[in-house]
Structure 1
Amino acid sequence: MKLLVAEDQSMLRDALCQLLMLEDDVEEVHAASNGQEAIALLEKEEVDVAILDIEMPAKTGLDVLEWIRANQRETKVVIVTTFKRKGYFKRALAAQVDAYVLKERSISDLMATIHTVLAGQKEYSPELVEGVAFDNNPLSQREQEVLAMVAKGSTNQEIAESLFLSNGTVRNYMTAILTKLDAGNRTEAVRIAKEKDWLG
């Protein structure tokens, strides 16, 4: 089989390529240091499986995945990442990624994943699937409205006037929001809610 490894950390990329070349059924391993290089290689070479990091310069692994799908290539795509971000995983799923796994795995595990996708099956790290399946918004509709106004820079007084609430009620909502999001302050609460797309 012919593989492509796209990874911006040179030591990790070189080590991965060398280890993959030791596998009996691997004929060639092409290396790219960013997404743009990966696309350039894919335009020239027939590759069975592309192993992509997400956060790379020029273009991300997700950009490369979307390019492969848009150009209707037969190449299977394995995203290998340290990031457990729900947004990344959802975008990869939308582009029909073949496998999305975390980096803390052995070469034998990675080879097993490669064989899985070549057999036409999918593989996703359980931690990621769990995150998407059970990451439900804990905030009530009213709490989302309050936090959305906090995100716009509104004070408690402004929120109270806009939503026809008392100052005390707004403070109670804020306490509930911080508790539910396990946030230390308003800014952190807004950041967490934005990352998880919980602002409504």
Structure 2
Amino acid sequence: MNFYFVKKPSLLRDGIQELLKRRFNESHIICCNQFNYEEIHEASIILIDVDEALTKLDDLERLHNEGVKIAMWVEDLGIRGAKPLFKMGLEGYLYYDIDEDTLVKALRFIIEGKRYVSPLLGGMLIDVYRKSHIKKVKPPLDLLSRREWEVLQLLVKGYNNVRIADELFLSDKTVKNYVSSILHKLHVPDRTNAVIKALKKQWLYL
């Protein structure tokens, strides 16, 4: 597997590069200062800094359409102009304040064909989907039970387990079991990613 990490030189970049070499030692890890389509189009997965990504939107969309897995690396929650990258529906949106195990877990999710979004970036992605997918709900009742669907609807509203339990007249433990079942069936690691998937699939809207 060809793994490209596109980010300007820094101690952080060096640390991540060593981490990738250590935890993905069967992959070919390539670090680039700048995005170069001719070099990078053979990548299996690309981890790219958001500032560099914003200068290469057309190339990234082309690669994404060709099936290359792309994850965006974000260090500033106040980044402006990143909406096109969130609308693109990339495989990963990673915030720099992430521990090693979570980063590895996120990248393995992406390699497996799943999507990972850091919880702190979830709000940005949800906002994009909220504004661009205002359509009739489409319950995935072939995938989720009716009760799981009811729980998912309340997750999208931002309810915690206690509030969901009160709303549906269930125990906290039962709600926790439903949430775990939803995450398993949707192949997502957490509630934020479950909500994002539901919005992306147009099952629900905010």
Q: What TM-score, normalized to structure 1? A: 0.54
Q: Judging changes above 3 Å, is the alpha-carbon distance between structure 1 residues 24 and 63 closer, same or farther for their aligned structure 2 residues?
A: same
State whether structure 2 residue 71 is matched by structure 1 residue 78: yes
Choose the corresponding residue for 1:107, options 77, 100, 103: 100
Match of 1:48 in 2: 44
Higher relative contact order (CA 8 A, sep 6+): 2
Q: Distance in 1 between matches of 2:74 and 2:114?
A: 19
Distance 1:33 1:70 in 2: 20
Structure 1's consecutive aligned runs of 4 or more residues displaced over 6 angstroms after TM superposition are none
**Using a 3 Å threshold, how does the CA distance of structure 1 residues 27 and 116 change in structure 2: closer, same or farther?**
same
- 2:127 and 2:89 mapped to 1: Cα distance? 21
- C-alpha distance in structure 2 between counterparts of 1:67 and 1:19, whole Å: 27
- Judging changes above 3 Å, is the alpha-carbon distance between structure 1 residues 110 and 33 closer, same or farther for their aligned structure 2 residues? same
TM-score, structure 2 normalization: 0.53
Q: Which runs of 5+ in 2 are unaligned?
A: 131-206
**Conserved? CA contact 1:77–1:98, under 8 Å:** yes
| Counterparts of 1:24 and 1:134, CA distance in 2 | 33
Quote the offset at 1:10 in angstroms: 3.3
Distance, in Å, in 2 between the alignment partners of 1:130 and 1:7 is 24
Q: Deviations over 1:41-82 (max 9, x none)?
A: 214xx2221011112xxxx22344541322433221111111
Letter in 1 for 2:18: Q
AA at the equivalent of 1:119: E
Select which of 53, 61, 65 maps to 2:53. Answer: 61
Q: Percent identity?
A: 15
Tell me by how many angstroms 1:99 deviates: 0.8
Matched with 1:30 is: 30
Q: Distance in 1 between matches of 2:12 and 2:114?
A: 27
Structure 1, unaligned runs of 5 or more: 137-200
- Structure 1 residue 3, shift from structure 2 partner: 0.6
2:105 aligned partner, one-letter code: A
Matched residue, 2:13: 13
Q: Distance in 2 between matches of 1:108 and 1:32?
A: 23
What is the number of residues matched between the two proteins?
128
Distance of aligned partners of 1:109 and 1:120 in 2 relative to their CA distance in 1, 3 Å threshold: same
Of structures 1 and 2, the larger Rg is shown by: 1
Does the 8 Å CA contact 2:46/2:70 hold for their aligned counterparts? yes
CA deviations over 1:169-188 (Å, ceiling 9, x no partner): xxxxxxxxxxxxxxxxxxxx
Q: How many angstroms apart in 1 are the aligned matches of 2:58 and 2:79?
A: 17
